[in-house]
Amino acid sequence: MVDFPPRRKPSRKGSMVDVPKDLLEQIKELERLFTVDQAKLKEVTNHFVKELEKGLSVEGGSIPMNPTWVMGYPDGHETGTFLALDMGGTNLRVCEIVLPEEKGEFEIIQSKYRMPEELKTGGSEELWGYIADCLQQFIEYHHEVEDLEQMDKKLPLGFTFSFPATQDFIDHGILQRWTKGFDIAGVEGKDVVPLFEAALEKRKLPIKLGALINDTTGTLIASHYTDETMQIGCIFGTGCNAAYMENCGSVPKIAHHNLPPDMPIAINCEYGAFDNEHAVLPRTPFDVVIDEDSPRPGQQSFEKMIAGLYLGELFRLVLIDLHDNKCKMFEGQDISKLRKAYSLDASFLSFIEEDPFENLSETGELFSKELGIKAHKPELELCRRLAELIGTRAARLSACGVAAICKKKEIKACHVGADGSVFNKYPHFKARGAQALREILDWPAEKRDPIDIRAAEDGSGVGAALIAALTIKRVKAGNLAGIRNTEGMI
């Protein structure tokens, strides 16, 4: 019997030996456009700190810095059964969470429902009706009751509404603007809670909304519930955002509530809107095109450079430019599929970065299968480098927001709970972000990272339930700051 040596993993070092001079020149130009050096990272972060402060002021700024009326962290002793509703960009998720006597523990059952595309641009009543129908289906299935009106008491619900909303109360939220491909007329500028509650009432559902939250705030609370060193919650997915705990005395725009200055309040930054003035972010001509062709030009500038929704589109725009104007990329090929806006998403770039083969055979198959393009090896090398550049820039810029919060709050060491498809699935995103944090905060090479970004707990499910539990706990204690309707909570 022949004893073979251990099989080596496929090598993927990325040789540029076979790349023609014109393509090499384009790669160098792309490296110049998309590389963010240490000095730029620090410049962006320092500006970010100022903008966070401005957002908390009475005058406000580009970053909304929305007070959430979540007044402190859970202590691990919250108990009860809660519903959580998670309305994201793609799916609707309904959960039932049981918080038992054991500290920091939870049990969860959940169901997912596809969010039909036509609902995203349809009518308001249809949207809320569909959501209420999903809740009804979930309760009927898991509670096996024939008449929902006969249930003993209303189930408290935490509603994760992952869109920018202004909250004067925790059970209230005025939609500032739709994001994530939603554009439903007549909802922006209105309180979404009565619209949602009307749909529940119409179906006589035994549900009491305890809290309207953002997924990022939920991520912060759920992560801290299981790890008390978590001080920031982040989302790096279709969009980007962060939440952290501020002192009421450091939030001038809520000073009229006369709250104790040392009372904690969670702030939902909504910092995808950072640098809408284009003062500091290193935008390329392709970023400008994405912004100008978007439904909301001039908004969400930071998000458009780092979020999953835009990474594939950046990649596509560069390839179209190279084909049409620069170096005859994919010469003689039919690139009609590539010309379709937003036809590529972040998973396309992920796949390219994960191709383990020296000849980039899997990338070649991807272009052939998805786009009908037969790319040559040098072209595949350029595509590989471009994917690396776009993915690396996103990860490095994402670290600026985390670093800015840490600098503002003078946090020297903590865990940061991060969630979202880009953080969880995009290759090397975590490592590239960690390297950028080291560069921004000048940590010595031999020192272990004092601020560690790691996978978060389920913010939109468990976090929403915990916040509903915290709200009920506050009502029982008589601390009603930021709670509008206490009826049916206890």
The per-residue pLDDT for range 278-300, each reduced to its tens digit, is 999 999 999 999 999 998 899 99
- Residue 238 has a pLDDT of 84
| Residues 141-150: tens digit of each pLDDT | 887 665 556 5
Q: pLDDT of 301-354, one tens digit each?
A: 999 999 998 999 999 999 999 999 877 799 899 999 999 999 999 999 999 999
pLDDT at res. 152: 63
Q: What is the mean predicted confidence (pLDDT) over 242-267?
A: 96
User: To 10 degrees, the CA torsion angle through 317, 321, 323, 324?
Assistant: 130
* pLDDT tens profile 420-463: 999 999 999 999 999 999 999 999 888 899 999 999 988 788 99
**Mean pLDDT score, 34-50:** 98
Q: What is the pLDDT of residue 477?
A: 82
pLDDT at 12 over 60: no
* Residue percentage of the chain with pLDDT more than 90: 74
pLDDT value for 145 = 61
pTM assigned to the model: 0.89
- Per-residue model confidence (pLDDT) at position 478: 84
What are the tokens at 245? 């705990």
Distance CA 117, CA 126 (A): 12
Mean pLDDT (whole number) for 359-371: 96
Displacement of CA 122 from its chain's centroid (Å): 24
Assess contact for 205 and 488: CB atoms under 8 A.
Answer: no
pLDDT one-digit tens code per residue, 383-398: 999 999 999 999 999 9
Query: In 3D, which of 275, 288, 209 has the Cα closest to residue 488?
Result: 209
Active-site residue among 191, 215, 287, 355?
A: 215
Helix (H, G, I), strand (E, B) or coil at 253: helix
* Residue 83: pLDDT band with limits 50, 70, 90: very high
Q: Which residue has the higher pLDDT, 203 or 143?
A: 203
Contact 26, 19 (CB under 8 A): no
pLDDT bin (cut points 50, 70, 90) of residue 7 is very low
pLDDT at 13: 47
With cut-offs at 50, 70 and 90, classify the pLDDT of residue 234.
very high
Rounded to whole angstroms, the Cα distance separating 466 from 459 reads 9
Mean pLDDT of 128-139: 95
- Phi–psi pair at 121, nearest 5 degrees: -125, 15
Closest among 393, 403, 291 to 43, alpha carbons compared: 403
162 catalytic residue (yes or no) = yes
Provide the mean pLDDT of the chain.
91
pLDDT at 247: 97
Closest CA to 214 of 80, 70, 96, 77: 70
Residue 74 Cα distances to 249, 264, 473, angstroms? 21, 12, 10
> Of residues 355 and 8, which shows the higher confidence score?
355
**Which one of 62, 86, 171, 177 is the catalytic residue?**
177
Tell me which of 62, 162, 223, 301 is the catalytic residue.
Answer: 162
- Please report the pLDDT score of residue 455 as a whole number: 92
At residue 44, φ and ψ (nearest 5 deg) are: -60, -45
Residue 119 — very low, low, confident or very high, per pLDDT cuts 50/70/90? very high
The answer to whether 139 and 155 are in contact (CB under 8 A) is yes
pLDDT for residue 383 = 96
CA 386-295-334 angle, to 5 degrees, is 45
| Residue type, position 348, single letter | F
Q: Is residue 215 annotated as a catalytic residue, yes or no?
A: yes
pLDDT at residue 150 in the model: 56
Angstrom distance (rounded) from CA 462 to CA 98: 9
| pLDDT of the residue at 1 | 39
Q: What would the mean pLDDT of 206-235 be, rounded to a whole number?
A: 93
Note the pLDDT of residue 19.
Answer: 81
